[in-house]
Structure 1
Amino acid sequence: MSKAEYFNMMPHDRLDPNPFLAIYLDRSIPFNEEAKAAYLKDCSSRSRQFLLPVLKPFARLSIVLLQLYKILLPKAFTSSKMLHRALYWGMKTFVSPDANYMILRHFYLGSEVLQFIRDNVPGVQVEMNPLKPTNLKEVKNDLFLNHDLNLYNFVINLNRETRVKNIEVTKQERLNFDAITTGTIPIEEMPNRRTNLLDLTTAIECFTPIYQFFLTDNDFWRATNSLQLDETIGILASKIMGNNDRLALINNKHPMVPLTTLRAGFRLVLHGLATEQLHALLVELKNKQNS
């Protein structure tokens, strides 16, 4: 059964309507149907209902304690290699298949969105470092850290070029969609053992302190502040498309107002959803342009 069929075959009880079925069937938000079904099924899990309320306070307390620890020893016990090995092991062992699927999709789609923007700003030559993982083993190649670096480097290099060459990001009459995949993203089957129970939100809340522990204080702050660039990427895309009506659900708002690291886990979920929505909108526009 495909992920979408889980909801398409779900019966509707008028006296007890399923809230996730309602959201799945609603098409006001652009979203790939398989990804939307995977995310909403994951949201309806027992892990999110019962484990998240219990684990979240401890995870956020850990962030506070680690922040105090990093003030005293900002670079002690830091290792990107150890971080990503720990993330790989945790994802393989404890995270649900749907959550792992959504995480890998995020890196894949994020690379396509950045390339789309680059391809639709004539005259710029921004070097890209696309991350398109199809299995969990690729997490060990500093995947999370490189994703953050790619985002910052792209924004810096794009804006430096447009400033030096006096180029304005404007609406393109015919968009270049070469970077955008309209079919299935080739992600392999995820581990599905008894221990693979953690939903996406709970996993992110639990893994955020681990991320903080293995990074320097500067690296962790840079990673969390990268979430504020959602608005920047959304504005660039809307300028190119000439329309921003359906980008209103970006919730990691003003990039000039960095937030504390305490709610980084929740904001990371919003970051992932913003990428999914923008990519789905680009797929929709590509199909219309090619029809």
Structure 2
Amino acid sequence: MSEADYFHNMPHNKMDPNPFLAIFLDQSIPFNEEAKAAYLKDCSSRSRQFLLPVLRPLARLLIILFQLYKIVVPKAFTSSKVLHRLLYWGMKNWISSNANYMILRHFYLGSEVLQFIRDNIPGVQVEMNPLKPTNLEPVKDDLFLIHDLNLYNFVINLNKEIREKNIQINVQKQLKFDAITSEPLPIEPLPDRWHNFLDLTTAIEIFTPIYQFFLTDHDFWRATNSLQLDETIGILASKIIGSNERLALINNKHPMVPMSTLGAGFRLVLHGLATEQLHALLVELKHKQAQGTPA
């Protein structure tokens, strides 16, 4: 049974309606159905209901303590290699299969969205470094750090070319969708044992201070501030497709206003959902263009 079938087969009690069923059935937000089901099923777990309220304030307290620690010894115990091996170990042994599925999807979809933007701005030739993991092994190779670097490098290199070549970003009547995968992603079966119980949001809150501890203060700030580029990517995509109507749910807003690192975990979840929504919109437009119907 697919994750979507879990909700399709869920009985509806009018006296006690399931909030996650309501969100799943709602079609106002573009979202891959299987990914939406996986995420909402993960949200309804006991881990998120009972562990998150306890662990979130503790995790944020650790962020404050580590920030003070980094002031005194800014580069002590920093190691991206150790960090990513810890992340891999945590994902393999503690994080739920649905949460891991959403994490791997994020790298895959993020790479496709950036390539879509590059392909639909005539005249630019930005070099890409796509990340398309199908299992957890690539996490060991600085996957999270490279993802952040890719985003910054894309924005910098794209805008350098636009300035140097005096390129205008305009609506493209015939969009290039070669980068956008509309079929199910080839993600392999993920660990799903009794101890793989941590939901996505709780796992992110736990791993955020660990991420902070093993990076320099500069690297951690750069990583958290990359979330503010959601708005930038959304605007670029809206200029190309000629509509920003369905991009209104981007919550990591103005990139010129750096946010506190305390809310980095919560904003990271919003970042993942923004990527899912934009990619789902592009898949929808790809299908409409292939059918010859107005986008």
Q: Could you tell me which residue of structure 2 aligns to residue 114 of structure 1?
A: 114
* Corresponding letter in the other structure for 2:114: L
Aligned length: 291
* Corresponding letter in the other structure for 1:201: T
Percentage of matched positions with identical amino acids: 80
SS of the aligned residue for 1:115 comes to helix
Q: Deviations over 1:227-269 (max 9, x none)?
A: 0000000000000000000000000000100101000000000
SS of the aligned residue for 2:117 comes to helix
Q: Could you tell me which residue of structure 2 aligns to residue 100 of structure 1?
A: 100
- Aligned mates of 2:93, 2:158 — CA distance in 1: 39
- Aligned mates of 2:172, 2:247 — CA distance in 1: 18
- Aligned mates of 2:188, 2:209 — CA distance in 1: 28
Please list, as runs of the form range in 1=range in 2, the aligned pairs for 1:23-62 lying within 5 A after superposition: 23-62=23-62
* Corresponding letter in the other structure for 1:233: I
Q: Deviations over 1:1-42 (max 9, x none)?
A: 101000000000000000000000000000000000000000
- Aligned mates of 2:256, 2:37 — CA distance in 1: 34
SS of the aligned residue for 2:212 comes to helix
2:81 maps to 1:81: yes
2:265 maps to 1:284: no
- Aligned mates of 2:253, 2:204 — CA distance in 1: 20
* Corresponding letter in the other structure for 2:48: R
Give runs of ≥4 in structure 1 deviating > 2 Å: none
Q: Could you tell me which residue of structure 2 aligns to residue 216 of structure 1?
A: 216
* Corresponding letter in the other structure for 1:229: L
1:68: how far off? 0.3
Q: Could you tell me which residue of structure 2 aligns to residue 153 of structure 1?
A: 153
SS of the aligned residue for 2:263 comes to helix
Q: Which runs of 5+ in 1 are unaligned?
A: none
- Aligned mates of 1:143, 1:16 — CA distance in 2: 42
- Aligned mates of 1:244, 1:153 — CA distance in 2: 24
Q: Which runs of 5+ in 2 are unaligned?
A: none
- Aligned mates of 1:55, 1:93 — CA distance in 2: 18
Q: Could you tell me which residue of structure 1 aligns to residue 225 of structure 2?
A: 225
* Corresponding letter in the other structure for 1:180: I
Q: Could you tell me which residue of structure 2 aligns to residue 8 of structure 1?
A: 8
Q: Deviations over 1:56-82 (max 9, x none)?
A: 111000000000001111111111100
- Aligned mates of 2:164, 2:75 — CA distance in 1: 36
Q: Could you tell me which residue of structure 2 aligns to residue 171 of structure 1?
A: 171
1:193: how far off? 1.1
**What's the TM-score once normalised by structure 1's chain length?**
1.00
- Aligned mates of 1:190, 1:73 — CA distance in 2: 38
1:194: how far off? 1.1
SS of the aligned residue for 1:132 comes to coil
**What's the TM-score once normalised by structure 2's chain length?**
0.98
1:188: how far off? 0.8
Please list, as runs of the form range in 1=range in 2, the aligned pairs for 1:182-261 lying within 5 A after superposition: 182-261=182-261
- Aligned mates of 2:93, 2:57 — CA distance in 1: 23
Question: How well do the aligned residues superpose, as a CA RMSD in angstroms?
Answer: 0.4
* Corresponding letter in the other structure for 2:288: K
SS of the aligned residue for 1:85 comes to helix
* Corresponding letter in the other structure for 2:270: L
- Aligned mates of 1:271, 1:115 — CA distance in 2: 18
Please list, as runs of the form range in 1=range in 2, the aligned pairs for 1:258-269 lying within 5 A after superposition: 258-269=258-269
- Aligned mates of 1:70, 1:114 — CA distance in 2: 33
Q: Deviations over 1:144-172 (max 9, x none)?
A: 00000000000000000000000011100
* Corresponding letter in the other structure for 2:207: F
- Aligned mates of 1:209, 1:195 — CA distance in 2: 22
Q: Deviations over 1:173-223 (max 9, x none)?
A: 100000000000011111011111100000000000110011000000000
- Aligned mates of 2:139, 2:169 — CA distance in 1: 33
- Aligned mates of 2:194, 2:137 — CA distance in 1: 20
SS of the aligned residue for 2:146 comes to helix
Q: Could you tell me which residue of structure 1 aligns to residue 18 of structure 2?
A: 18
SS of the aligned residue for 2:121 comes to coil
SS of the aligned residue for 2:279 comes to helix
